[in-house]
């Protein structure tokens, strides 16, 4: 019986080694928390702008936003993206050093390529929606394409990330029906879900 248990333990260890060799496992949960906090701050800034300029998001589905308002919203979104990217780089690099793993190798490259292809397609599609003044669909589309990107990248990193991808897609589809709540859906998807996911990953793998 002990021999059989030892064999099973050995097979499990071999499987873990093979899994580590084919996946980028240094992704830090703290980067998800930081990205979520950045998204919440960005959403609060956009909400403040809409309120102070008497723009009711839930009723003005065509939004009729001025060029100034668009620039403000997209500037906030760009800043949130930059902060999330910087925090992901910092915490992931720190996690890799603690685990004696390389930050950049073929696994990292495969993960990033599979992540950014759907993100790039989603970004272009969002630009098309803005061009056609379909602004109320931008937030749902961002969530859906981001979820697809996470699912695509989950094959090359922590498998837990695919659950976040499923939730982002589901939230984006729901927001596509209730278009007046796009900002709320964006806040939940990029803010709350990131924080919850990041905390779970941190407590599961990094403590």
Q: Report d(CA 85, CA 95) in Å as an integer.
A: 15
Q: Directed axis angle between helix 67-98 and helix 29-52, to 10°?
A: 170
Output the six-digit token pair for 29.
Answer: 């949960």
pTM of the entire structure?
A: 0.82
The whole-number pLDDT of residue 88 equals 83
The whole-number pLDDT of residue 185 equals 93
Strand, helix or coil at 145? helix
In a domain? residue 142: yes
The whole-number pLDDT of residue 141 equals 95
In a domain? residue 170: yes
* Enclosing domain of residue 187: 29-206
The whole-number pLDDT of residue 134 equals 85
Q: Report d(CA 189, CA 168) in Å as an integer.
A: 6
The whole-number pLDDT of residue 197 equals 92
The whole-number pLDDT of residue 21 equals 44
In a domain? residue 10: no
Beta bridge partners of 157: 24
In a domain? residue 141: yes
In a domain? residue 73: yes
CB–CB of 171/143 below 8 Å? yes
Number of domains, the chain: 1
In a domain? residue 5: no
Segments of the chain scoring below 50 in pLDDT: 7, 11, 13-24, 61
CB–CB of 43/187 below 8 Å? yes
């Amino acid at each position: 019986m002990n021999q059989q248990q030892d064999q099973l333990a050995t097979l499990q260890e071999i499987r873990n080694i093979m899994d580590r060799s084919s996946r980028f496992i240094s992704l830090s949960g703290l980067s998800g928390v930081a990205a979520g906090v950045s998204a919440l701050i960005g959403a609060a800034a956009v909400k403040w702008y809409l309120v102070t300029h008497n723009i009711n998001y839930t009723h003005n589905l065509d939004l009729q936003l001025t060029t100034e308002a668009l620039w403000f919203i997209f500037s906030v979104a760009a800043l949130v993206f930059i902060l999330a990217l910087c925090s992901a780089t910092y915490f992931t690099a720190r996690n890799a050093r603690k685990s004696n793993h390389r930050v950049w190798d073929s696994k990292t490259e495969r993960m990033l390529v599979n992540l950014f292809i759907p993100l790039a397609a989603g970004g272009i599609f969002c630009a098309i929606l803005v061009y056609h003044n379909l602004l109320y669909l931008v937030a749902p589309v961002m969530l859906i394409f981001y979820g697809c990107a996470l699912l695509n990248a989950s094959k090359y990193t922590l498998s837990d990330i695919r659950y976040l991808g499923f939730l982002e897609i589901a939230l984006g589809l729901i927001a596509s029906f209730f278009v007046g709540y796009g900002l709320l859906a964006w806040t939940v998807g990029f803010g709350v879900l990131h924080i919850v996911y990041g905390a779970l990953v941190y407590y599961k793998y990094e403590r």
